[in-house]
Chains A and B, each alone.
Chain A
């Protein structure tokens, strides 16, 4: 890398950022408003009848792909900028020594705001536990992070509406808090891996706080968009593809039978199906959109979505470095119980 390229990479003047970010935002907003005519136009170009199964599926796909990608870009950018005011170190300082009951909702709340990627969940876990943060509080944090993440909430809002997004927020947050509390009451410290338990008294260093300018925060937002959208777009396409097939081909009668509220086994099956599924919020919500559109029961669908997002097998394998299998099993059981309860509750209510 020559010095010139380095300069150019970091050297856009501030005014360009202050002008460029709102401008790009406005353009994306305008594009977002043109999605229906755009998708109908594309579908019209194809030699299939608009009302056939294939036509329905294609229209769903060409409408959802730009919509989800635009929403995702906006949400990831805004979240990236907002989260630059938070850090795991600050969160740890706030949570350390919070043994009172409100440590749990506080941890869940900070779990949503603190930037962290699943690749550093092990160092984060150790950092929390070694600073004396109770295990249950740490779990509340770790559950809430993915479960009520802004990407999932924002896409739910954009694709299925504010009512369901709000229900999801309230219940996702409650499950994180209550599961953390229950796990905390079970005194599970003895089921940590040996070396983690021995770590408890060790002092750890801390990185210095870096003062950031507003432009640097905007850069973090752009960096996040590049990284996250660059990583998840393939899951988005796969998810929308599955959603399109459901939307176009699956008969409503069959959906009602399999995922309707009547069948008692539909909620546990949705959870059992969701856990090994490895995708992320951006990939699963188009599926949720299609399922709800075809008459799947809300409770069953919520249970499916929550187990996909909050309980992922690869995540558990990463955590195996710090938790024994027994603790992982208890963790999954407690969270799954919360998800099942939510699923049954909504199937009974609606």
Chain B
């Protein structure tokens, strides 16, 4: 079980990103726990300045804009 966090104040892109993470995980057959972090302070403390941001097991892998579907799978399976 991997813990994935999606950082974003709840804008549409952040929702889409969370959906993309779930879709990519399902495709890889990975069990993931997707947590949405919406508190501005928590987002900033994680080092995210442009949302949506993604962290996998506590490591920030992406910030700003929708992730690329191919890269997303790499991050999840790494």
**Majority DSSP secondary structure for residues of B touching A:** mixed
| B50 and A122 contacting across the interface, CB-CB below 8 Å | no
**Would A88 and B64 count as touching, CB distance under 8 A?**
yes
A residues less than 8 Å from B50 (CB atoms): 87-88, 115-117, 120, 123-124
B47 touches A205 (CB 8 A): yes
Asked whether any CB of chain B lies closer than 8 Å to the CB of A12, the reply is: no
Q: How far is the CA of A9 from the CA of B20 in the complex (A)?
A: 12
CB closest chain-B residue, reference A114:
B50
Knowing A10-B68, A123-B40, A130-B44, say if A88 contacts B51 (CB, 8 Å): no
Which size class do A's interface residues fall under? 35 or more
Query: In angstroms, how far is the closest chain B Cβ from the Cβ of A199?
Result: 8
Query: Looking at the complex, which one of A3, A6, A204, A210 makes contact with B45 (CB distance below 8 Å)?
Result: A204
Asked if B46 is an interface residue, CB under 8 A from chain A, the answer is yes
Complex contact A206–B60 (CB within 8 A)? yes
Say yes or no for A207: interface residue by CB 8 A criterion.
yes
A15: B residues at CB distance < 8 A: none
Q: Which listed residue (A124, A199, A208) contacts B60, Cβ 8 A?
A: A208
Q: Say which residue of A87, A122, A130 sits within 8 Å of B40 (CB atoms).
A: A122
Closest residue of B by beta carbon distance from A80: B65
**In the complex, are the beta carbons of A206 and B44 less than 8 A apart?**
no
Query: How many of chain B's residues have a CB under 8 angstroms from any CB in A?
Result: 31
Closest to A204 in B: B47
Residue of A nearest to B67 (CB): A210
State whether A207 touches B44 (Cβ < 8 A). Answer: no
Query: Which of these, A1, A3, A199, A223, contacts B66 with CB under 8 Å?
Result: A223
Closest 8 A-B residue pairs measured CB to CB?
A: A205-B47, A126-B44, A127-B49, A88-B49, A207-B63, A122-B40, A123-B44, A120-B51
Task: Give the A-binding residues of B (Cβ under 8 A).
Answer: 7-9, 11, 13, 23-24, 27, 40-41, 43-51, 53, 60-66, 68-71
26 intermolecular pairs with C-beta atoms under 8 Å apart: A6-B69, A87-B50, A88-B64, A89-B49, A92-B49, A115-B50, A119-B11, A120-B8, A120-B48, A120-B49, A123-B44, A124-B49, A130-B44, A195-B41, A202-B45, A204-B47, A205-B46, A206-B47, A207-B47, A207-B60, A207-B61, A207-B62, A207-B63, A219-B68, A220-B65, A322-B40
